Amino acid sequence: MADVMTVLHECADYARWKPVFDADAPNRKAAGLTDLMLLRQQDEPNLLALIMGVSDRARANAMVASPELRETMRGAGIIGKPEVHLRQGDFSVRSVPLYLSINSRIRDIDTFRKGFAMDEADRVAASLTDLGVLVDIADPNDLLVVCSVGDQARVNAFLSSPTLAEHQVKNAGVTSQPVVRFWVPA
């Protein structure tokens, strides 16, 4: 299991934000963060998702809380307050044109993993490849699943299945309406 930081934030203008993000790479490295994925929401390209490996929780948390980072984000045109989560789980990077994230509340991770394993063949048939199952360290009922997408139409059909919705509640212990987003590499 690895520590991963996920950040979800909106910028006013990606072209303005990206050079500031790139210039801040030495600060992320000094905080023990490694850039794994930088994504833009498919239908809202100024909504950004960052997934970073964490080698030192204390340094990573200190960076997130620092006034310097707040100033950097302000200068980059970040809108509102970013959603930052320190998560733990298995995560692998795969370079593809489209990704799916599903964020939901769960009863417990063991129940979820058992139910998630039950529909593995259905995910594969829908053209999904599992990349990560990540639990928030501060709130283990906050779950993020990340997959690569082969065929968005098949994924949409899979996700809209009433059978899947019932399975998520009954077998995987999902307790909230999942937040589903499609992402493209930035």
Domain boundary among 55, 89, 123: 89
Domain boundary among 33, 64, 89: 89
Q: Over the chain (186 residues), what is each successive 10-residue block's mean pLDDT?
A: 97 97 97 98 98 98 96 95 97 97 98 96 97 98 98 98 93 97 98
pLDDT at 175: 97
82 and 95 housed in the same domain: no
pLDDT at 23: 97
What does the alpha-carbon distance between residue 172 and residue 106 come to, in Å, rounded to a whole number?
8
Closest C-alpha among 119, 81, 94, 92 to residue 185: 94
pLDDT at 67: 96
Domain boundary among 46, 65, 89: 89
Token couple for 87: 């998560």
Counted domains in the chain: 2
pLDDT at 30: 97
pLDDT at 144: 98
Closest C-alpha among 1, 64, 81 to residue 27: 64
What does the alpha-carbon distance between residue 86 and residue 63 come to, in Å, rounded to a whole number?
12
Residues 6+ apart with CB under 8 A from 22: none
Residues 6+ apart with CB under 8 A from 92: 131, 132
96 and 134 housed in the same domain: yes
Give tens-digit pLDDT for 58-100.
999 999 999 999 999 999 999 999 999 999 999 999 999 999 9
Domain residue limits at 73 = 2-89
User: The domain that contains 171 carries what CATH number?
Assistant: 3.30.70.100
Residues 6+ apart with CB under 8 A from 65: none
